[in-house]
Structure 1
Amino acid sequence: MSKASLLLLEDDPNLSESVSEYLESSGYSVTCVYDASSAEDLLYEHKFDLLLLDVNVPGGDGFSILKNSRKEGNVTPAIFITSRNSMRDVEEGFESGGDDYIRKPFALKELLLRIQTILKRNFYHNPTDVLTLAEGITYDSDNQVLLLNGETQTLQLKEHKLLKLFIQHRGQLLSHEMILEHLWDYDETPSDGSLRTYIKTLRKLLGKDSIVSHKRLGYQFR
């Protein structure tokens, strides 16, 4: 199974090293940057699963970096890591598109739990409420409504979760393991047969070429 990819913006090299080593030992891939310009470049060039952003950094601030990235269509969830502790700072963090806010100093275990919670939820930010997937096909992710030529299509809960996952990772090859882990909770037993059924349903609605199967590797949403 591929590791979740995290971007860590933290200008304190000691803290950056401690956080990255802990998260990598917990099974994540961590890319570290130390200033605003480097963070902006990587956000433009690469796709991450989660952003960890310090607020006060050389060349800018985490709030502005994320706010500008959201305007460009970046939907990746983000956690702010900062020593700022006023309520106005918290509000600004969420208003700029953040999903969580952790104050320094913090326990590494707490950060790990927050990361796990956000990745499990797999929510994401859309610049618009309704996404156009193809001609005559739109999807309201907030209300979980798929419209085909204006008519509402009925989907099961896991089919909605799968469609959201594909939309978030449009064009990327998703492994079978990643999809199974996302669709089924820890107390459920994943089913390859059910996954194939969900894929078949989405193809029927979105077009047979909308989801490409890569033998022994996974699926790709186009």
Structure 2
Amino acid sequence: MKILLLEDDLILNEIITEYLESKNFEVTSTYDGEDALTKLFSSIYDILLLDVNVPNINGFEILQRLREEGITTPSIFITSLNQIDDLKKGFDVGCNDYLKKPFELEELGLRIDNLKKTFNIDANIIKIDENIILNTRDFILNNEGITHNLPQKEAKILIYLVNNANKIVTHEELISNIWSYEETPNASTLRTYIKNLRKILSEDYIQTKKGVGYSFNKK
């Protein structure tokens, strides 16, 4: 499971990173809001841990921008801001939990475990339906006993669509979350990936919203 950690206190950042890695999480740590935003628009994460008072772009602004872009990745604010107005603002911009500093690492672990249960996040497995399972570590999809080795980009497109099931995902949103800034896929490339996924899953799962994007119908 991939976690992005934004914490500008170098020592605390290192402590949290070591703790999460000891629990076998893959951690991307950053100390700066602008750098965090760049990473968030170039990679997919399962959970976000965001400090608020960080350089350049604060945590509230980062999460608000993500939510406005339709990115629904579960998030926890970890912050020393402990007034009720701060708590209210955190939830208003779209956080799923709010952890006040100082805190015990075990409490952070419990809150992450709770998000995993709430959002059905597994370290390696996404259950698309009763008969279709995707291993996100090696990108192997098992459909009723038949295995398919998905190319990385196809797998990441599928993961993103499943994580945003039953909502319209625009072409631009998919591209910004799957490809890095250096890569610029054209529309036909994206259509090819979607076509390949439909062959494996069936036509019913990924619906085209003409001129807009796609919607994944989770059953």
Range class of TM-score, shorter chain = 0.5 to 0.7
- Quote the residue 2:111 is aligned against: 114
Displacement of 1:30 after TM fit? 0.4
The answer to whether the aligner puts 1:43 opposite 2:40 as a matched pair is yes
Displacement of 1:212 after TM fit? 2.6
User: Of the candidates 9, 14, 26, which is equivalent to residue 12 of structure 1?
Assistant: 9
2: distance between equivalents of 1:27 and 1:21? 10
Unaligned runs of 5+ in 2: 122-126, 146-194, 207-215
* Aligned-partner residue type, residue 30 of structure 1: V
TM-score (norm 1): 0.58
Q: Is the 8 A contact 1:77 1:123 kept in 2?
A: no
Instruction: Report matched runs for 1:78-89 at 5 Å.
Output: 78-89=75-86
User: Of the candidates 49, 54, 59, which is equivalent to residue 52 of structure 1?
Assistant: 49
Which string of whole-angstrom CA distances, capped at 9 and with x for unpartnered residues, describes residues 113-171 of structure 1? 100110121179xxxxxxxxxxxxxxxxxxxxxxxxxxxxxxxxxxxx736xx9xxxxx
2: distance between equivalents of 1:83 and 1:211? 50
Where 1:45 maps in the other structure, the secondary structure is coil
User: Of the candidates 200, 212, 217, which is equivalent to residue 212 of structure 1?
Assistant: 200
**Greater relative contact order structure (CA < 8 Å, 6+ sep):** 2
1: distance between equivalents of 2:68 and 2:120? 17
Unaligned runs of 5+ in 1: 125-160, 167-172, 179-191, 198-206, 214-219
* Aligned-partner residue type, residue 134 of structure 2: L
Where 1:76 maps in the other structure, the secondary structure is coil
For residues 177 and 42 of structure 1, do their structure 2 counterparts lie closer, same or farther at Cα, with a shift above 3 Å needed?
closer
TM-score (norm 2): 0.59
* Aligned-partner residue type, residue 87 of structure 1: I
Instruction: Report matched runs for 1:1-222 at 5 Å.
Output: 4-122=1-119, 162=128, 174-175=134-135, 196=144, 210=198, 212=200
Q: Is the 8 A contact 2:33 2:57 kept in 1?
A: yes
Where 2:99 maps in the other structure, the secondary structure is strand
Where 2:144 maps in the other structure, the secondary structure is helix
Displacement of 1:210 after TM fit? 3.2
Where 1:60 maps in the other structure, the secondary structure is coil
Where 1:97 maps in the other structure, the secondary structure is coil
Indicate the RMSD between aligned Cα atoms, in angstroms: 3.2
Q: How many residues align?
A: 146
2: distance between equivalents of 1:209 and 1:18? 40
Which string of whole-angstrom CA distances, capped at 9 and with x for unpartnered residues, describes residues 59-96 of structure 1? 12101100001111111000000001111100100010
2: distance between equivalents of 1:22 and 1:57? 21
For residues 177 and 62 of structure 1, do their structure 2 counterparts lie closer, same or farther at Cα, with a shift above 3 Å needed?
closer
Where 2:36 maps in the other structure, the secondary structure is helix
Runs of 4+ in 1 over 4 A off after TM superposition: none
Percentage of pairs with the same residue: 42
Where 1:56 maps in the other structure, the secondary structure is coil
Q: Is the 8 A contact 2:33 2:59 kept in 1?
A: yes
For residues 177 and 44 of structure 1, do their structure 2 counterparts lie closer, same or farther at Cα, with a shift above 3 Å needed?
closer
For residues 115 and 208 of structure 1, do their structure 2 counterparts lie closer, same or farther at Cα, with a shift above 3 Å needed?
same
